[in-house]
Amino acid sequence: MAETVTIARPYAEAVFKLANQDGTLGKWSEMLQFAAAVVADPEVGALIDNPQVDEEKLQAFLLSVGEGKIDAQGQNLVKVLMENDRLPLLPQISVLFEQLKAEQGGELEAEISSAYPLTDAQVKTLVSGLEARFGKKVTTKVSVDAELIGGVKIAVGDHVIDSSVRAQLASMAQQLKN
């Protein structure tokens, strides 16, 4: 997973820079989300992964599906991704683009996983701590993950704060092995 993020990031940053310069962030959001949805479709994914499918025909197919939804710059992105065998990265590029857009707006998204349901007060305390740490407004997605055993795991962009019991046990096991 980290590898796809690393590979997708330069594309997302380049698109973000272009969109920011042109003032077309909203338009690019829509195009990337549409293209990501098309590529994520299992039937289209099978076509992309099939080495017997002619690249020119695949490109023509993808561009015809996106006709009216993807402009010339978006089509160029699709072509570049195809030439570099990076088309399956479109969903990740879209996610990273949205993160960059939110960061520019002074907003970050945190994914909080907890072993047990959190109260509103607990979430509010975590959010205020994250806002103090990152100096930006933080929105959250909260989920319950019983495999954590106890504690919480917080992901904000590339930063992960894992204070779960599972992580502590894994750390202890690693220390015992050494």
Handedness of CA 91, 95, 100, 105 (dihedral sign): positive
Q: Where are the alpha helices (DSSP H) in 23-150?
A: 25-40, 42-49, 55-65, 72-83, 90-104, 120-134
Tell me the two tokens of residue 111: 């994914």
Residues of the chain with pLDDT under 70: 1-2
Average pLDDT, the chain: 90
What does the pLDDT look like over 11-61, one tens digit per residue? 999 999 999 999 899 999 999 999 999 999 999 989 999 889 888 888 889
Architecture field, domain 2-101? Orthogonal Bundle (1.10)
Predicted pLDDT of residue 38: 92
Expressed in angstroms, the distance from the first to the final Cα of the chain is 27
Cβ–Cβ contacts within 10 Å for residue 162, how many?
A: 16
The residues spanned by each domain of the chain are 2-101, 108-177
